[in-house]
C-alpha cells in the first residue's frame, strides 16, 4: 500500500490562502488504511481549518467529502458538482490521487486549486498496529525470487544488489543502527530456505529503465481497454 503523512496544518493553510470555499477531499484507499486521508482525517482537518479561519476572523466555508479512490477518474467525476463549487480542494490522497483530481479540476470552467494535504512517502506494509515499513520501490523488475522475498532495493540503505557493503554490525545497518541490515536478513532467510547459493549469484549491471530512471511509466492491459 501507499503510505503517507499528513502535512503540517500551517503548510496546508498557506496553500489555500485567499480561498473562501474549500473542499477537504479524502480517499478510501491506502490513505484510509494508514490513517492519513480517510473520512476521519478529513473531518479532523476540516475542523482545524474552520477553527483557524475563525481565529483570524476570516469568512471561509470548509466542506468535506471522501470518495472511493482519487486515482480513478470514475469516482472523481461523480463529485464534479461539489468540486466545481469551491475555490480549492485539499486532497488527502497520495500524490497520484492529487494529480488526478487536479487534472479533472483543470477541465472546469473556472480555476480551482487542488493542493496536497499529504506527503506521500513510500510503498509499504503494516508491521504492527500503527507502524508501516518501506518494502518496495516499484523498480519494475522484481528480484525477490533470488533474495528470499526481501527487497534489497527498498530495504538496504544503499540499495545494494550483490551482497552487503561490509559495514553492518550485529545484524544492523551501518547507516542506522535501528534498521536491520537487509543483506543480513536476506542471508538468514536464504539459509532457512536452503538457498544460500543465491548469495554467490552475481546479478549483472541492472537496467534501471524499468524503474523511474526510464521516465514516467504506463501500464496497459489491452483487453481492459474499451
Binding site for ligand SF4 (CB under 6 A): 136-139, 142-144, 151, 153-154, 156-158, 160, 164-165, 167-168, 173-175, 181-183
DSSP bridge partners of 118: 6
Shortest Cβ 181–ligand SF4 spacing (Å): 3
| Nearer residue to ligand SF4 within complex by CB, 95 or 163 | 163
Residue 201 grid cell: 549469484
DSSP bridge partners of 221: none
| Nearer residue to ligand SF4 within complex by CB, 39 or 174 | 174
Shortest Cβ 37–ligand SF4 spacing (Å): 23
| Nearer residue to ligand SF4 within complex by CB, 73 or 208 | 208
| Nearer residue to ligand SF4 within complex by CB, 79 or 182 | 182
| Nearer residue to ligand SF4 within complex by CB, 75 or 187 | 187
CB atoms within 10 A of CB 160: 13
Shortest Cβ 131–ligand SF4 spacing (Å): 19
What sign results for the dihedral spanned by CA atoms 42, 48, 52, 54?
Answer: positive
Task: Identify the burial level of 211 via C-beta atoms within 10 angstroms of its C-beta, where 0-12 means exposed, 13-18 middle and 19 or more buried.
Answer: middle
- Of residues 51, 121, 101, 96, the one with CA closest to residue 219: 96
- What is the rounded distance in angstroms from the CA atom of residue 123 to the CA atom of residue 76? 23
Shortest Cβ 191–ligand SF4 spacing (Å): 16
Shortest Cβ 179–ligand SF4 spacing (Å): 7
- Of residues 27, 2, 19, the one with CA closest to residue 53: 19
Amino acid at each position: 500500500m501507499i503510505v503517507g503523512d499528513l502535512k503540517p496544518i500551517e503548510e496546508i493553510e498557506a496553500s489555500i490562502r485567499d480561498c473562501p470555499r474549500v473542499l477537504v477531499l479524502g480517499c478510501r484507499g491506502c490513505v484510509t488504511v494508514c490513517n492519513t486521508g480517510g473520512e476521519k482525517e478529513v473531518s479532523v482537518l476540516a475542523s482545524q481549518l474552520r477553527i483557524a479561519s475563525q481565529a483570524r476572523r476570516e469568512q471561509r466555508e470548509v466542506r468535506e467529502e471522501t470518495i472511493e479512490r482519487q486515482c480513478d477518474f470514475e469516482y472523481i467525476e461523480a463529485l464534479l458538482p461539489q468540486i466545481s463549487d469551491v475555490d480549492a480542494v485539499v486532497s488527502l490522497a497520495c500524490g497520484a490521487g492529487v494529480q488526478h483530481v487536479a487534472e479533472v479540476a483543470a477541465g472546469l470552467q473556472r480555476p480551482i486549486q487542488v493542493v496536497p494535504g499529504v506527503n506521500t512517502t513510500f510503498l509499504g506494509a503494516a508491521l504492527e498496529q500503527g507502524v508501516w515499513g518501506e518494502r518496495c520501490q516499484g523498480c519494475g523488475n522484481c528480484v525477490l525470487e533470488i533474495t528470499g522475498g526481501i527487497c534489497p532495493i527498498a530495504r538496504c540503505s544503499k540499495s545494494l544488489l550483490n551482497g552487503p557493503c561490509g559495514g553492518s554490525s550485529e545484524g544492523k545497518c551501518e547507516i542506522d543502527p535501528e534498521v536491520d541490515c537487509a543483506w543480513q536478513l536476506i542471508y538468514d532467510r536464504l539459509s532457512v530456505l536452503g538457498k544460500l547459493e543465491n548469495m554467490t549469484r552475481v546479478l549483472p549491471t541492472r537496467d534501471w529503465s524499468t524503474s523511474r530512471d526510464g521516465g514516467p511509466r504506463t501500464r496497459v492491459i489491452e483487453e481492459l481497454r474499451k
